[in-house]
A = this chain, B = another copy of it.
Amino acid sequence: MKRRQFFGSAAMVAVGAAAATRVVAQEQTYTIGVSIPSATHGFMGGLNWHAQEAINRVEAAYPNVKFVLATAGEAGKQVDDLEDMLATRNIDGLVVLPFESEPLTGPVKAVKDAGKWVTVVDRGLSQPNIEDLYVAGDNTAFGRVAGEYFKNNLPSGAKIVLLRGIPTTLDNERVEAFEAAIEGSGIELLDKQHGNWNRDDAFTVMQDYLSKYPQIDAVWASDDDMAIGVAEAIAQAGRTDEMWIVGGAGMKEIVKKVQDGDKQFPVNVTYPPAQIATAIEMTALAFVSSAPVAGRFIIGSVLITPENAAQFYFPDSPF
């Protein structure tokens, strides 16, 4: 019965930092490689910024953890980066956002086979169970959270349009979850065309919607780049006051509008480029703590409102 008494009377206790901490081997230094695509567009720009920020934070918190960061503009460069990290940088762990799944699977497996910790971010590899930790966004929640906002903030009979991304499983998951969330609300979805996560394409699609539909109460642009194209088309049609727009991913310009109470952008939904920071922080825990961090972490999508926008606004990030 000794185990039963482990915490004595099981009363609530305020825990002091002075209690016997399992000592982390501070003298041992760990090197973690971080391999990500270059900052070629908005989202990746943000991801690069958050990677750097997380590296700085972890290195400041844990003097015995060092990072090697490599960015690649194409898959071949990323393969070379991994080989270099393994051959000459003596990494203990790797955080990798694969440029493409297929060409990176072998090289990432080689890192794992060499006995290193491997964290894969956002895009899975072509083979299962190679990585120790997988960190990614939640496309179903991304659509559901947006859909719930529409359902809760539009009357039955309201008319909406939506813009889809590039035709992918990912986009299907998002759109299906959105449609499921508005089901039974009486909201009428007038149209859903592909804007391909592209500002110009979204502008064209929205121009078409505006010419076809005399009444539109709200737009699910499903992406902040598309939201900007949509807003431009609405402005040119002089119908800005008629409808609001929900984008997605937390682009700083849009988050700022939400924070400022802009009626055109009442909320946003996260699909955070900061997921790379989560991957870096959790990988560091694999070395500095005894908490198990092998597994699968799906980052939830959260509704950004004027009340909580500050915590999602990174003015120094390019995205």
Contacts and interface: CB of A to CB of B under 8 A. Distances in A.
Contacts of A49: 6
Interface centre among A4, A52, A281, A291 (most CB of B within 10 A): A291
A274 interface: yes
SS class, residues of chain A in contact with chain B: mixed
A54 B15 CA distance: 11
Contacts of A3: 39-42, 45, 318-319
A69 B15 contact: yes
Given A38-B4, A68-B15, A274-B291, A60 B299 contact: no
Contacts of A138: 295-296
A281 B285 contact: yes
A13 interface: yes
A139 to B, nearest CB: 12
Interface stretch (A17-25, A161-169, A199-207, A228-236): A17-25
Pairs A-B, 6 closest by C-beta atoms: A17-B59, A277-B291, A21-B56, A3-B45, A6-B39, A295-B300
14 contacts: A3-B40, A3-B45, A6-B39, A7-B52, A10-B77, A19-B52, A21-B57, A22-B56, A54-B289, A54-B291, A274-B291, A292-B302, A295-B299, A296-B297
A84 interface: yes
